[in-house]
Amino acid sequence: MTGKAPVAILLWATATGGSIAFGGLLSALYGLSSALAQPVKGRLMDRHGQTAVHLPAALLNSALLVALPVVGPQGGPALATAVVVAAGLTTPPLEAGLRALWPSVLPDPRLRHAALALDTGTQGLLYIVGPLLVAALASAYSPSLALAVTAVLGLVGTVTVACAPPSRRWRSAQPTDTDGGRGRRLASSGLVLLFASLSGIGFAIGSMNVWSIAMAERHDQDMLSGILPAAFSTGSFLGGLVYGRRSWTSTSTGRLITAGAAFLAGWLPLLALPGPYAAIGAVIVPGAFLTVVVACAYVTTDVLTPAARTSEAYAWLILSIGAGQAAGTALAGRLAEHHFASTALPAAGAAFALAVLLAARPRLGPAGRLIRAGRHRRPPRGRHKAAQKNTASF
C-alpha cells in the first residue's frame, strides 16, 4: 500500500487535469498523514489487539481510495485533498504490527534479529515492484483503475495478515505492579535521541528521491528517476540478505553506529558529481547499510520500550523516518536547481543521524545486550533494570 498509493494518487491527479505540483502535494499529504497517525494506531493495537485496528483501517482506506476518482473531479481540489488526507490517516499500521509479531513467531533472539534484517531489506522490493505495477496499469488502462487495484490489493493483504493466527492471538504484555509504573511511560532520553537520528536517515532518503528526478532532467534520461531509487532499494534488499545470514557477537548499539557511519560514507562519492552510471552504482552502498541501521534501530527500540507499548514505540520510529523523509523531499525540491547542494543533501542527513547516534550511545542500552526476550512472556524481574535508567514520562 505504501509503495503504490502515493504513485497512483500522483498519476490520477495529473491525468485528470491537475498539475504535477498538485499531484505531488496530494502524494506527499497521503504519506505525511499516514506517518502522523502511526503512533495513535500503534497505541490502539497495544490496547485492543491488531485485528481490531487493521480491519477497520483497511476497509476505510480502501473505500476512500476507490472513492477518490468518483468524488474528486466533482468536488474540486479541496474535496480531493480531504479524501487523500483521510485515506492517509486510515492507512493500516501493518509495519509496526508485523514488527511486534516477530517475538511470538520466532522466540529465538538471534533468529528474530536475522528476520528483522530480512524483513527490512525485502521492503525495498515493494518500492520497486509497487510503483512499476501502478505505472503499468495507469499506462495500459487508466489511473483510476490503478487506484482501484491499489485499494483492493491493500485490503486483501491487510485482511490476510489480520486474520492470520499470530496476528489474531497477539496481545501486548500488560504492566504489572513490579514494573513500578514503567508500563505507563514510553519516552526515554535514549529513545528520543534514537528517533531524532532516524529523522536524519529519512531526510537522506527523501532528498535522494528528488535528486534522482533532478539527475534525470539534467542528463535528459527520464528512466534515471526510477532507476536510481530502484538501485538504492536493491542495495537495501541485498544488505538484508547478507546481514541476516550472519550471527553477530557485537552489541546492537555498536552495529547501529557502525552502520550509520557506513551509510554516511556511502553518500560521499556523490559529492564528486558522478555521471549517471557511476551514480547508479554509488547509491547501492548506502542502500545496503540502510537495512542494518533500521534493523538495529528496531532492536534498540525494543530494548528501551516498556513491554505494554511496543507497537506504539515502533510507530514512533516509523513516524520519525517518515517526517525526516518529508523534510528531505521539501528541501531538496527547493534546491533542485542547485546541482551540488541537492547532491549533498543525502550526505547531510546521514551526517546528522550519525552525530546524534554518537551523542546518544551511552543511553541506547546496556553493553552486551543483543536483543530482548519475547514480548509474550514476562521476563525475569531484573532483566529491565538497566533499561529503566533515564526514563521519563512521555
Please give the average per-residue pLDDT across 11-36, as a whole number: 80
Max mean pLDDT among 223-237, 264-278, 326-340 falls in: 264-278
| pLDDT band, very low/low/confident/very high, at 367 (cuts 50, 70, 90) | very low
Task: Identify the pLDDT of residue 185.
Answer: 62
The confidence band for 85, taking pLDDT boundaries of 50, 70 and 90, is: very high
Residue 153 has pLDDT above 80, yes or no: yes
367: left (phi over 0), alpha (psi -120 to 50) or beta: beta
The grid coordinates listed for 297 are: 534501530
pTM of the model: 0.74
What is the pLDDT, as a whole number, of residue 380?
41
Q: Number of helices and strands (H, E) in the chain?
A: 14, 0
Q: What is the per-residue pLDDT across 228-275, written as a single tens digit (0 to 9) for each?
A: 888 898 898 888 888 877 777 788 899 999 999 999 999 999 999 999
- pLDDT for residue 388: 37
What pLDDT sits at residue 3? Answer: 65
Residue 176 has a CB neighbour count (10 Å cut-off) of: 13
**Which residues are CB-neighbours of 125 under 8 A, at least 6 positions away?**
233, 237
Average pLDDT, whole number, for the chain? 81
SS3 label, residue 234: helix
Question: What 3-state DSSP class applies to 220?
Answer: coil
Residue 147 pLDDT exceeds 60: yes
pLDDT band at 172 (very low <50, low <70, confident <90, very high): confident
pLDDT of residue 390: 36
Higher pLDDT, residue 256 or 186: 256
pLDDT at residue 127 greater than cutoff 70:
no
Between these two residues, 261 and 381, which has the higher pLDDT value? 261
